[in-house]
Amino acid sequence: MLSRNIKRYGDNFRKMIHAYYMADLDSLWAGVQDEVRDSMPMDAARIMLDDRNNAWMQQLPALMRGSSQFVAVGAAHLAGPSGLVAALRRQGYTVEPMRGQDAQLRK
């Protein structure tokens, strides 16, 4: 599926994958913005990203109370000013990327 998406979406998708593996949230956000601008109305993007992130932020603090947690979401929900990483950090949480074993993807 990943290779099919790379063929379909091309260079920007490849850059987003690289940014994700490098934990480069600024580049990831730039790629998300390019994809959103090219594929959906801004109202839809707000619902798909911002509103869903806000809903997560209503639930996550209670789920994380007292212990570290692993939270998995789509990459587009991580980056940007309304992304979950920024939102959690604004509330005082330490957010660190998971580092995978596949060094090939980090090139």
Question: Can you tell me the mean pLDDT for 29-35?
Answer: 89
pLDDT reported for residue 6: 57
Q: Is the pTM of this model over 0.85?
A: no
- CB 56 within 8 Å of CB 35: no
What pLDDT, on the 0 to 100 scale, is given for residue 103? 47
- The pLDDT-based confidence of 44 (bands split at 50, 70, 90) is confident
pLDDT at 84: 96
Q: What is the mean pLDDT of residues 34-38?
A: 80
How many alpha carbons fall within 13 Å on the CB side of residue 15?
15
Longest Cα separation, the chain: 43
What amino acid occupies position 16? M
- The separation between CA 58 and the C-alpha centre of its own chain, rounded to angstroms, equals 18
Asked if the model's pLDDT at residue 107 lies above 70, the reply is no
